Structure 1
Amino acid sequence: MRFSIYSEMQHWPGKSAERLYAEVTEQVINADRRGYSTYSIIEHLFFPKFSSSPDPLAFFAQLAPRTKQINFRTLLHVLPFHNPTMLASRIAEAEILLDGRYEFGVGRGHGWIPPKAGVRLGDVRELYDESLELFFKALEQERFSHQGRFYSVDDSHIYPPPPQRKMRIFVGGTSDYTYEMAGRKGYAVAVPPLLPYKALEAQLNIYRESASKHGNEPDIVWIHACYMDQDREVAKRDAEQGMRNFLVGNASPLEERASDDALQAAGYGFYTSGIMEELAATPYEEMIAGDIVWVGTPADVIERIEETIGVCPG
Structure 2
Amino acid sequence: MNFGSFMEFHTREGNGQEDAFQESFDHVALAEELGLDTVWLAETHFNPNRSVLSAPLVLAAAIAGRTKKIKIGTAVQILPLGNPLRIAEEVATLDHVSGGRFEFGIGRSGLPSAYNGYNIPYTESRERFYEAMEIIKKAFTEDS
The answer to whether TM tops 0.5 is yes
Q: State the distance in 1 between where 2:141 and 2:84 align.
A: 12
Q: Does 1:126 align with 2:127?
A: yes
Q: State the distance in 2 between where 1:107 and 1:123 align.
A: 14
Stretch deviating more after TM superposition (40-49 or 16-25): 40-49
Q: Is the 8 A contact 1:10 1:50 kept in 2?
A: yes
Higher-Rg structure is 1
Q: Is the 8 A contact 2:12 2:50 kept in 1?
A: no
* CA distances 1:225-249 after superposition (whole Å, capped 9, x unpaired): xxxxxxxxxxxxxxxxxxxxxxxxx
Number of positions where the alignment pairs a residue of Structure 1 with one of Structure 2: 143
* SS of 1:62 mapped into structure 2: helix
What residue identity is the alignment partner of 2:116? P
The match for 1:80 is 80
Unaligned ranges ≥5, structure 1: 144-314
* SS of 1:63 mapped into structure 2: helix
What residue identity is the alignment partner of 2:129? Y
The match for 1:18 is 18
Shift of 1:12: 3.6
Q: Is the 8 A contact 1:43 1:76 kept in 2?
A: yes
* CA distances 1:125-155 after superposition (whole Å, capped 9, x unpaired): 2111211111211122222xxxxxxxxxxxx
The match for 1:111 is 112
Q: State the distance in 1 between where 2:122 and 2:59 align.
A: 29
Q: Is the 8 A contact 1:12 1:48 kept in 2?
A: no
Q: State the distance in 2 between where 1:50 and 1:107 align.
A: 20
Q: Is the 8 A contact 1:73 1:102 kept in 2?
A: yes
Q: Is the 8 A contact 2:21 2:52 kept in 1?
A: no
Q: State the distance in 2 between where 1:122 and 1:50 align.
A: 25
The match for 2:34 is 34
Q: State the distance in 1 between where 2:41 and 2:49 align.
A: 14
What residue identity is the alignment partner of 2:139? A
* CA distances 1:22-48 after superposition (whole Å, capped 9, x unpaired): 111011111111111011111111113
Q: State the distance in 2 between where 1:121 and 1:62 align.
A: 30
Q: Does 1:43 align with 2:43?
A: yes
What residue identity is the alignment partner of 1:128? F
The match for 1:60 is 60
Matches within 5 A, 1:162-241: none
* SS of 1:51 mapped into structure 2: coil
Superposed CA RMSD: 1.4
What residue identity is the alignment partner of 1:39? V
What residue identity is the alignment partner of 1:113? A
What residue identity is the alignment partner of 1:140? T
* CA distances 1:189-237 after superposition (whole Å, capped 9, x unpaired): xxxxxxxxxxxxxxxxxxxxxxxxxxxxxxxxxxxxxxxxxxxxxxxxx
The match for 1:300 is none
* Greater RCO (CA < 8 Å, at least 6 residues apart): 2
What residue identity is the alignment partner of 2:120? V
Q: 1:140 to 1:50 in 2, by over 3 A?
A: farther
The match for 2:136 is 135
* SS of 1:35 mapped into structure 2: coil
Shift of 1:49: 4.0
Q: Does 1:89 align with 2:86?
A: no
Q: State the distance in 2 between where 1:52 and 1:30 align.
A: 20
Determine what percentage of the aligned residue pairs are the same residue. 29
* SS of 1:73 mapped into structure 2: strand
* SS of 2:104 mapped into structure 1: strand
Shift of 1:65: 3.3
The match for 1:71 is 71
Shift of 1:55: 1.2
